[in-house]
Every structure is written in C-alpha cells, then in structure tokens.
Amino acid sequence: MTFYQIIAEGLFFAFVILVILGSLITIRAKILMQTVLGLAVAFLGVAGIYFYLGSMFLTLMQILVYVGAICIVLIFGIMVGYTPTEVAEKAIKDWRNKFLAVLSAVTAFLLILACVLKTDWIPAVADDRNFSAAHLGQEFLYTYCLAFELISVILLIAIIGAIILARGGAGGMITDPPAGKEVAAVQEEKGEAST
Amino acid sequence: MISNHLNSYLILALFLLIAGIYGLIQHRSFIGMLVSTELILNGAGINFMAFNRFLAPDPAVGQVITLFIMGIAAAEAAIVVSFILAVFRKYRSIDPDEVKELHG
C-alpha cells in the first residue's frame, strides 16, 4: 500500500466518521436547531462517500441540494414556528418511545446486517466505467426523459402546494386586502408570535 | 482497502437507515421526524450508488436514481415544512401527540 493510498483510506474513514457523528447528533440532540446542524454534517459526510463511489457530480449536487437547500428550508421552518424548551423536556421524559425506537432499530439492524453479510454479491460485466456528467446528462435526456420531466412537474406542484399551505390553505388565502387591514393583520401575527 | 468493498458502503447505509428509524420513533416533534426521514433517504442513495459502482454494468443508472431521490426529497421537505407551519398556526404546537383531530 503506497503513501497516497493510506491517505485516501484515512480520508474515507474521516467521511464515515462525519456521517456517523452527524447522524448521532441528529437523533440525540435535545434542541431542534442542533438536530438540523447535525443533519448538515451527516450530509457533508455522505457527499464525501459519493466522491469515493466515483461521482464528482453527485458530490456537488449533494452539497448544493441537501446542505444548501433542504437544511436551509428546515432551519426556516424551525425559526418561524417553534417552542424550544417544551420539546426538549418531552424528549427526555418519554421513555416508552425510546424503548420502542431502540427495539425496532436493533431488530432492523440485525436482520438487514445478516442479509448483507450472507449474500454473495456477483459483480456484473462492466461495459464501461464512464462516470462523467456528460454521460449522465445523455442518459437523463434520452433513456430517462419521461421520469426527468415528471420530476420537474412534481417539484413545480410541490412548490405551489407549499406556498398555498403556508398562506393558510385555499380558503383562507390572502387575495387582495386593503392596505390598513394588511398592516393590522401583520401586527396581530407579530403579537401572537411573541406570546 | 476498506473503501473498495461493497459491504462497507452497505453497512454505512444500514447505519443511516436505523438512525433514521430510531429518530423517526423517538423524536417528539414534526421537524425531528422530517429530519430522520432525510437520513433514511440518504441511506437509500448511498445504497443505489454502491450497487451501481460495484455490481451494475451501466454506471449512470445509480446516479440517475440518486438524483431522483434528491428531487423527491426536496419536494417532500418543502411540502412538509409548509404543512408544519399550517399545523403550528392552527394548534400552536409541533408535538405530534397534541395534533389529535385525525387520530385513528
């Protein structure tokens, strides 16, 4: 094993530790903001794992989409509507949920680990090892064209639905309120948020 | 070379899956449950990429499916966060046990 291979292995372990530590913070943290920050750490580790699996493009997309977009959305969700102390205390008190969680997690872990270790994976005959983004783009626009378009439609519908839900549902949508009423409504919301 | 074996990636993805399951049951808030779901989706993505790297003949399939997972996760996160905001406005709580109107 050469010097560079040792460095590569060490980096791989660093990414694995990043994933494990991040997910442990995610499931053990008592404060919701720490949960989301742990999730960001785990996502960065997963991006490194994608790099070791041969795809530079997916590494960048992982950082861009998960760390850059989803974590920010979650942080906004926490900052807009959230009561920190109550949730934290309940997480400590509730032992029944913790028991059920440990039970199901350990069972799933043992069952799937047995499957993984017992299976004899047979590698397929590789036609080419072309991991480039150009090849990926061709696959997207020729072979998987329909699924690609459907994903874009799903994203559009999800964003429109999210806006409608966040504005109070189809019935309670603010259509065109007079200026004075709008200011009063904003002040009322601010008063509610501070209580 | 541990980074060159399929099993190490599968076990890492398995760890993400069980961390997600644990968090999904144990967290006492909607946002915590959503975060755990994201962990499970990431485990699935690592699995697809690992099988693609070591077993599949065509190297693009796993990347395509992982990108689809990312798109679905983004849509899901946007929908669920706005859902949580709507629920918070109605019930003044993000604890799943206090949102009782749809209890089975």
C-beta atoms of B19 and A121 within 8 A: no
Provide the residue ranges of all domains of chain B, joining segments of one domain with +.
2-91
How confident is the model over A26-63, as pLDDT tens digits?
988 878 888 999 999 999 999 999 999 888 899 999 99
Q: What is the pTM of this model?
A: 0.83
Identify the CA nearest to B45 among candidates B19, B21, B64. B64
Provide the residue ranges of all domains of chain A, joining segments of one domain with +.
1-108, 130-195
* Angle between helices A32-52 and B6-26 in degrees, nearest 10: 170
- Name the more confident of B101 and A166: A166
Pick from A82-91, A119-128, B75-84, B93-102: least confident:
A82-91
Mutant choice from A32, A43, A63, A70 vs B, greatest count of B C-beta within 10 A:
A70
Q: What is the DSSP string of B47-102?
A: HHHHHHHHT-S-THHHHHHHHHHHHHHHHHHHHHHHHHHHHHHHHS---GGG--TT
How confident is the model over B41-90, as pLDDT tens digits?
999 999 999 998 888 877 788 899 999 999 999 999 999 988 888 887 77
Mutant choice from B31, B46, B98 vs A, greatest count of A C-beta within 10 A:
B31
The CATH label, of 3.90.220.20, 3.40.630.30, 3.90.70.10, 1.20.120.1200, for the domain at A1-108 is: 1.20.120.1200
Lookup result for tokens 């994201």: B38
Residue A86 has pLDDT above 70, yes or no: no
Contact A60, B68 (CB under 8 A): no
Return the CATH fold of B2-91: Helix Hairpins (1.10.287)
Q: What is the mean pLDDT of residues A104-114?
A: 93
Give the gap in angstroms from C-alpha B102 to the nearest C-alpha of chain A: 17
What is the average pLDDT value for chain B, to the nearest integer? 86
